[in-house]
Chains A and B, each alone.
Chain A
Amino acid sequence: MAYTANAMVYKSAQGFGDLPLDRLFSDAPEPVLGVGAVSLLELLRAKRLSTIKDLVHLPPWELRDWLLITEEEAILLLRKAWSTCAVKPVSAWELATQSHAIPRSRLAPLPSLQAALGGTPALLEVAGAPGVGKTQFCLHAAALTAASGGEVFWLDAERSFSAQRLLEMLEHLQPGEVAMQALQRVRHKVCGSLQELHSIVSELSQSKAAAVEQPALPALVVIDSVAAVARRESEQSSIPRRQAALSSLASLLKVLVAPSISAEAASNVPSVVVTNQVMGDPSGGSAASTRVSLGQVWHHAVNWRLVLSHVPPGPTGPGSKEQADPFGRRYLLVEKSPCCATLTIPFNICERGLKELS
């Protein structure tokens, strides 16, 4: 069984597939199957294969025809490439004990939600009608994270960030000078396009992989909102291209929140909160039905989806502001989750942020 030692660390966004081919044969200078390593590399380069990924996807019969060897020998050569890129299996018990050992992150504003999340870093999506409280949710989560000492990276696409409101929430948690210090830990960046968002997130995930020098990864990354950047994109490019870009963004975000095996880097894994909008659903039965935007691909890609609504969850979907309860009662529904049953939490918004109602 030839799993390489490199496969012990969880892969970065770059992965072994993008490494050049000479890395594969550098540790075996003696001839492989009667073919010298150098001449093999030259032949593969002449056939326009440059990275390990190209060799992985090469069919064995093609390698057999180029090198004039039998198909079993070609498969043996390809096994070198496959074993470099393959993932080493970890038992479920080890995963459970590791996730138990890392310090819990406390970012959810509502206690029932915190209990459901369990404290492991996750990719959370918050969706809802306009004005229901998605940005308030994110501000409250940022306040909780900053107050407990973590850094927050806020990527703003809707220009809805308010430092004043964040300070108000922080002062309820820790009054005075401490609140001002916590405010310094929140960094804000305006994001104009999906491309920019993509490059920022891939930069973050690559700095996570470079675990040699301790990277100062933020404890929480907020993207408010993905729908705003994606909508801007759809004017220029086609829908399948946009869906592919969203899927690749989701994949990068998942690399970011993935747990790492080594103990020191384990506490450095950020949580990500992403907001999304809802739109009217003309194909639905009643005129008032709405659904979350960005399509099927994004819906499949997120692991946790929280839907905030003005009306209790029901067949008509999240309501609009006009149908809201006069006392400001709103509902948070855990619509999609890998480990929790669907849960409805009533809450309202006050000066300290979101408050759970019984």
Chain B
Amino acid sequence: MDAKLPASAQALDVRILHSIPTPVADALISRGCRQAPDVTPEALKEVLAQHHVAGLEQRANSMLSACRQEAAKDAWRSADSALSLLRKTARPKVTLPCTGLNQLLGNALRGGALLEVFGLPGSGKTQFCLQLCAAVQIPCDPNISIVEAVFIDTEGSFVPQRYLQVCEALLAERRPHLDPPAAAAQLEAVMRSLHVCRAYDATELYSTIKQLGAFIKGRRRPVGAVVVDSIAFSFRHELMDNTAQRARVLAEIAGTLRQLGADHDLLAVVTNHMTTRFGREDTWLAPALGETWAHQASTQLRLEKMACWQQPGLGRATLTKSVEKAACSCAYRISHKGLRDDGPEAMPVDGGCTGLAPLWGRIA
């Protein structure tokens, strides 16, 4: 019942422990129990009795054991050294088929950090997310099997036929040795491993993200990425009166995504809108959701559509915030295959649409 405290337990102040509620912590301090090792079962029971708590014994025991567990964690000795971190990140996990974007993003394509993609409407954010999911699901190395991914859609812009197109093109590039029946089976496996959640408002988005941890633990195959497209849509008309709560909800979402990324080694990507900011004389475009949200992402990528009427689908990606690289940009092209480099191959002006019709033979 009374767990023995290890000798190296930390002398944490009682007020910062997660397991002790604030009123109880204040009462303990007034009794002289300032730090975690000082908390005795008798003092805890007295304090809880003062607050007229039902089920005193049980409550005191659970609180005490949680407090002991927290104090026994050794934060300093269990931390990784920077050298071991460097060795772990020497090889980025995910390779996009567009080499320019690979160079730009580099180590941002590893788990644990949040990547934010923003751009004007029609610049290709959803296409980028689809290409990223496909690249995560079909790894470059043919020995690794299909990886799962989660796509949270708040705008209704996920079209399954388009994802089918992108996956088919990527499979043809990365697994060229497969014969048609095997390729169709692989394609079906890839499509079955992408989990799409259609969230209609901010509450559903928040609850879904909070429950993702339990969902990911229950999957047999590893989950490689969680993509939210887009986080800004519901928040532009909900919680407008209470900006403090909006900032807190967004911070919670970002924190949970980062935690998922670190725990399960998966990519967390979020898409954002743009808004007009008004200065004294001029206006300019900036990412939506305010300054507080801008701190949450560790890497930010801006996508812009180049208004080029002879060659539609051309775009420019600029790295606006990054820990490792200076601001630089690269060009990409959106075609029926997905996002590729802006190469010398000529694209027909209105190509891409007729490609959808022959795919129906694969399904049903």
Contacts and interface: CB of A to CB of B under 8 A. Distances in A.
Interface of A: 1-3, 10-11, 13, 15, 17, 34-35, 53, 56-57, 59, 61, 64-65, 67-73, 78-79, 81-97, 99-101, 112, 115-116, 118, 120, 123, 240, 243-245, 247-248, 251, 254-255, 257-258, 283, 295-297, 299-303, 305, 313-315, 335-336, 338-344
Contacts of A2: 214
14 contacts: A13-B200, A61-B18, A64-B18, A69-B62, A79-B214, A86-B208, A94-B192, A101-B364, A244-B240, A257-B156, A258-B156, A283-B283, A300-B232, A344-B350
Given A73-B62, A296-B274, A343-B353, A96 B207 contact: no
Contacts of B201: 15, 17, 251
Contacts of B165: 339
A339 B356 contact: yes
B19 A71 contact: yes
Contacts, number: 237
Contacts of A90: 195-198
Contact of A338 (B53, B159, B249, B313): B159
B23 A65 contact: yes
B309 interface: yes
B194 A92 contact: yes
A247 B236 contact: yes
Interface string B218-236: 1000000000001011101
Contacts of B283: 283
A78 B213 CA distance: 14
Contact of B207 (A85, A101, A299): A85
Contacts of A3: 211
Contact of B245 (A1, A57, A85, A120): A57
B210 A86 contact: yes
Interface size bucket, B side?
Answer: 35 or more
B204 A341 contact: no
Contact of B350 (A67, A254, A314, A343): A343
Which of A3, A82, A313, A335 has the most CB atoms of chain B within a 10 A radius of its CB? Answer: A82
B274 A85 contact: no
B196 A254 contact: no
B204 A245 contact: no
B71 interface: no
B233 A301 contact: yes
B256 to A, nearest CB: 11
Contact of A341 (B20, B210, B211, B351): B351
Contacts of B151: 92
B100 interface: no
B215 interface: yes
Majority secondary structure, B binding face: mixed
A115 B66 contact: no
Contact of A315 (B24, B252, B307): B307
Given A91-B193, A93-B188, A244-B240, A68 B51 contact: yes
B19 A87 contact: no
B150 interface: yes
Contact of A118 (B20, B218, B285, B356): B356
B164 A82 contact: no
Given A71-B18, A335-B122, A258 B161 contact: no
Contacts of B248: 59
Interface string B37-80: 00000000000100101110011001100100000000000000
B275 interface: yes
A97 B161 CA distance: 10
Interface string B146-169: 000011100111111111110000
B54 A35 contact: yes
Contact of B203 (A56, A120, A343): A56
Contacts of A99: 160-161
A51 to B, nearest CB: 9
B312 to A, nearest CB: 4
Nearest to A66: B21
A34 B63 contact: no
Which of A56, A86, A258 has the most CB atoms of chain B within a 10 A radius of its CB? Answer: A86
